[in-house]
């Protein structure tokens, strides 16, 4: 709420100042005060309308519960990095970072320097690791804010720039070397890793404190490729140690690997999708159950909106763009202020369902940019303003990210990560 009213105050002040600068009104005039009041009322009305119609509800206790489950699994000798990249998989990056650290996470993982900057500017002081990339052209300007973060290095050019910056501030910069063991994304090939790391080790201004890799198929029931990657990674570590290079942090495991493949954990794991209460894949859940891990994940996110109009349609009435649905009887529909701009996938047209008063109500016609139509039964007594669940539980019914993913041909990760970041998140 503080953010909302801060926005209102800024908007109204800007509005008044703009008019004053044009000589339209005087600061002390009655017209100015009246205009200010009317504009303030309008802005408050619009903001409240938006907040009340569509928002995400994030269960903080579910996040804490999921983190506890993983901590119990890996034990006290393995640190946990909470992955909050990409707006924390749709949950809100800054808030989730705060919640995760309070719940016991040791590290925070972000995708880039720009995300690290956001967390530092939000006064978050926990250790931050940049997982994938940072902007070489911008790093000097923002370095004062993120110099205490840990950086990934997989090119000599990156290392040279960080070395120069470290010498300039007279403080060693923490770096982790990325080894590409099989995903064929960023990283140094295993056969080039030892020579590469020996060069990095000699550079002033750097503290070589981490080495890491990323799995390509850790969510599969067949762990053969994951084990091959782990073997390549371990061989690099062993070769380094034979030459007297001992690196403090070794990390490879994501959520799936953590839960079903013990040898991937090393001394730091990166907890992503499971932190938010979702299983990486059906195979992951199956194998975890087979291993008697006793992990129970609780989804933290519920996506809600409200009915803005209800109308009765006669037989043979078309609904939505391209007239893809045509009624074969009299029906009642509810109009929802949600669409693909918000992240509600257009592929849910004529196949998605939402929950209204504990009942599943099917999407009729195309999902529009900002509106969606659903059929509702008369028997539930729907009203304008009724709560609608797009994702989550209502009564005995539940719409899961996996269900939506199956209908649109994707994965649960994408369903939550693509929810528009402008939608209000409420943390309960």
**Which residues have a catalytic role annotated?**
85, 321
Burial class from Cβ neighbours inside 10 Å (0-12, 13-18, 19+) for residue 34 reads: exposed
CA distance 159 to 201: 10
DSSP 195-220: HHHHHHHHSTTEEEEEEE---SSTTS
Residue 51 contacts residue 337 (beta carbons within 8 Å): no
Burial class from Cβ neighbours inside 10 Å (0-12, 13-18, 19+) for residue 379 reads: exposed
Residue 337 contacts residue 370 (beta carbons within 8 Å): yes
**What's the first-to-final CA gap in the chain, in angstroms?**
13
Closest C-alpha to 97, from 135, 67, 54: 67
Name residue, tokens 């911008």. Answer: 138
Q: What is the DSSP letter of 32?
A: H
CA distance 416 to 22: 45
């Amino acid at each position: 709420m503080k953010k909302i009213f801060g926005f209102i105050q800024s908007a109204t002040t800007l509005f008044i100042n703009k008019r004053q600068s044009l000589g339209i009104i005087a600061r002390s005039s009655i017209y100015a005060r009246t205009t200010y009041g009317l504009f303030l009322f309008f802005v408050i009305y619009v903001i409240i309308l938006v907040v009340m119609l569509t928002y995400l509800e994030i269960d903080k206790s579910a996040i804490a519960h999921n983190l506890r489950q993983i901590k119990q699994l890996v034990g006290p000798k393995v640190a946990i990095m909470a992955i909050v990249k990409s707006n924390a998989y749709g949950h809100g990056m800054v808030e989730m970072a705060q919640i995760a650290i309070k719940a016991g996470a040791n590290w925070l993982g972000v995708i880039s320097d720009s995300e690290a900057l956001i967390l530092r500017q939000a006064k978050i002081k926990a250790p931050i690791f940049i997982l994938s990339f940072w902007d070489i052209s911008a790093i000097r300007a923002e370095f004062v804010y993120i110099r205490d973060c840990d950086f990934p290095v997989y090119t000599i050019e990156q290392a040279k720039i960080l070395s120069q910056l470290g010498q300039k501030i007279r403080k060693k910069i923490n770096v982790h070397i990325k080894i590409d063991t099989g995903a064929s994304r960023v990283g140094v090939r295993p056969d080039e890793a030892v020579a590469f790391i020996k060069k990095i080790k000699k550079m002033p201004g750097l503290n070589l404190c981490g080495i890491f890799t990323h799995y390509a198929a850790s969510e599969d029931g067949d762990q053969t490729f994951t084990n091959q990657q782990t073997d390549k990674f371990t061989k690099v570590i062993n070769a380094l140690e034979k030459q007297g290079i001992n690196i403090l942090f070794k990390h490879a495991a994501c959520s799936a690997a953590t839960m079903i493949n013990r040898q991937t954990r090393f001394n730091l794991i990166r907890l992503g999708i499971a932190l938010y209460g979702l299983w990486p894949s059906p195979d992951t859940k199956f194998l975890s159950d087979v291993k008697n891990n006793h992990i129970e994940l609780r989804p933290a996110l519920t996506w809600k909106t409200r009915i803005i109009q209800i109308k009765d349609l006669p037989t043979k009435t078309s609904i939505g763009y391209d007239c893809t649905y045509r009624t074969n009887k009299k029906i009642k529909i509810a109009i929802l202020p949600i669409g693909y701009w918000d992240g509600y996938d257009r592929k849910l047209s004529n196949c998605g369902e939402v929950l209204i008063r504990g009942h599943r109500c099917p999407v009729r016609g195309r999902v529009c940019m900002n509106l969606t139509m659903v059929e509702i039964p008369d028997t539930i007594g729907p009203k304008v303003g009724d709560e609608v669940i797009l994702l989550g539980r209502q009564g005995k019914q539940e719409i899961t990210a996996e269900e939506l993913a199956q209908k649109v041909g994707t994965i649960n990760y994408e369903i939550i990560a693509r929810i528009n970041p402008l939608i209000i998140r409420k943390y309960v």
